[in-house]
Each structure stands twice: as structure tokens, then as C-alpha cells.
Amino acid sequence: NMGFWGGYFYLEPQACYLAISALLSVFLLLTFNREQDRKWRLVVYSIMLLCLLFFLSLTVTKGAIIAFVLGFLTLGICSWKMLSWYRKWLLIGFACLGIGVGIFSLSGVFSARYNDFKSELLKITQGDVSLGGGTTSFRLMLWKENFKHIDEFGIWGLGVYKKTCTEEWYKNTPGANNAHNSFIEYWVSGGILGLCFIFYYFLAPIFRMRKQNSWSALVVAIIVTLFVANNSCVLIILVDSAPFVILLLELCFLYAVKFSEFEKSSLTKLQIDNER
């Protein structure tokens, strides 16, 4: 993962790209029109979705997997009224199939991960700081360590002193160099203003859609997916992923109305065709 093309490409950005791409594949399948679109595209979209979900499962990145699941549910709920009964059942069937495959083919993996998670939490409660890697408990431990010093950064942030201070905070936590949470990182760096700055990117598209009374299910789903993913790592700070995340949020802000118009026109036509 980190040696692709001779570079240093982190696993979390890869998993985020896969989650967003899989979400877009679901959207393409929901808006597929048999009369206007070529039939081979349906096959391509289906293969894309299956491959993306397979690769996402290989990353075993819990934050990205949960982000995709919540984005998928958001997309389904927001577009539910506009979907035909055929596509509603197709959406439900796909969700049930995914859950079934996960339970029956990966039950051993889930059990092992759950037991590991319990063991890690027990070690943390006992004061064991030897944990590392991409575990959930490791992140919880880092967040807890940051909030112990909230009186130092809570209002104004640390600014240029951030690196020096956080190195001192993490000195007993091997392998830690950030909070593994984009929002906490901006809060520590810029205080309340820094936190508001980064939240603005996620909230601005929502405010604009509300102001124009034109909602896009895809835009809301993408924002939910990115928001969840950024709570488990520093995607908006890493050079590998920051441009990707910011560009997506900018597109959601600038073209939310276009997305909304496309969804309404496509899904309305599908409703009319199914009624006929």
C-alpha cells in the first residue's frame, strides 16, 4: 500500500477513495435508465461496485467501511421517495445481500476483530500504552490524551507551538504523531476558529441547498461519508488526500443544484416509465 509507484501512499486515503467511488457506483445504478442509457453500462456499474466493495473490505479500515455504510443509508433514505418500487426492493436486496455475505463469509474475521477490540480496551483501562497501529482503541486513547490538555488549546489553539506540545503529549504513546482525527487536529492548531473553519467546508453545501430549497441525495451522502472518514484519520491534512476531500466538498457546494436537478429529472423519468 505504501510503496505504490515508489511513493508513500497511506492506507486511509485509499480506503476513503474506495468508499466514495463505491457510493458513486450505487448512485449510477439507482439513476440508470434502460431507455436512455446503453445496457452495457449497467453491467459496468455493477462490476465497478462489486470490485470497489471487495477492495474496500481488503483494507479492513473500519472508519472507511462505516463511512460507506452510513453514506449508502443516507443516499437510500434521501432518494427513497423518488425511487420506483422495483429500485426500492433492489436497494433493500443489495443491503441484505451485503449483510448476509459479511455474516456468513467473514463471521470469523468479525469475531476475531471484536475480541481484539475488547482486549485493547481492557489494556487501556489498565494503563497499557503499548498499543499502536490502526486500532480503534489506539485512536480513543489519543483523543483522550488530547482532551486532557483542552485548557491549553480549547479557545485559541496552539498555532506554531502545536508540534512541540503534541510531541510531549504523545511521548508515552509509541507511533503517535497526530490525533487521528481531522477535526481535533484543526481544533488543536487553530482553536475555536480553526474548528469552525474546517466545519464550514462540510456545512456550507448544506446551508446553500437549504437556502435554494434544492436538495441532492448524492451531495448529502458524500458529505456524511467524508465527515465520518475524517473522524478516524487526518484526511484533510495528509498531502495524499487533502486535495481530494476539499475538491469534493467544493463540488458539493458549487454544483449541488445541478446534482439535484439531475437526480429529480432522472428519477422522475424512471417513476413515469415504471407507472406506464
3-state secondary structure the chain: CCCHHHCCCCHHHHHHHHHHHHHHHHHHHHCCCCCCCCHHHHHHHHHHHHHHHHHHHHHCCHHHHHHHHHHHHHHHHHCHHHCCHHHHHHHHHHHHHHHHHHHHHHHHHHHHHHHHHHHHHHHHHCCCCCCCCCCHHHHHHHHHHHHCCHHHHCCCCCHHHHHHHHHHHCCCCCCCCCCCCHHHHHHHHHHHHHHHHHHHHHHHHHHHHHHHCCCCHHHHHHHHHHHHHHCCCCCCCCCCCHHHHHHHHHHHHHCHHHHHHHHHHHHHHHHHHHHC
Asked whether the whole model's pTM tops 0.95, one would answer no
The C-alpha cell that represents 164 in the structure block: 512541540
Please give the Cα distance from 269 to 276 (Å, whole number): 11
Tell me the pLDDT tens digit for each residue of 211-220: 988 889 999 9
75 or 5, greater pLDDT: 75
Q: Are 208 and 253 in contact (CB under 8 A)?
A: yes
At 227 the pLDDT is 96
Residue 171's pLDDT is what? Answer: 82
pLDDT of residue 170: 85
Separation of alpha carbons 20 and 149, rounded Å: 34
Q: Pick the range with the lowest mean pLDDT from 112-121, 195-204, 244-253.
A: 112-121
Q: What is the pLDDT of residues 1-10, one digit of tens each?
A: 566 666 667 7
Cell 426500492 belongs to which residue?
88
Stretch 129-139: mean pLDDT, rounded? 64
Which of 222, 191, 173 shows the shortest CA–CA distance to 75? 222
Residue 187 has pLDDT above 70, yes or no: yes
How confident is residue 184, by pLDDT bands cut at 50, 70 and 90? Answer: very high
Q: In one letter, which amino acid is 84?
A: S
Residue 59, phi then psi, degrees to nearest 5: -70, -25
pLDDT tens digits for range 21-63: 999 999 988 887 766 667 788 888 889 998 998 888 887 788 8
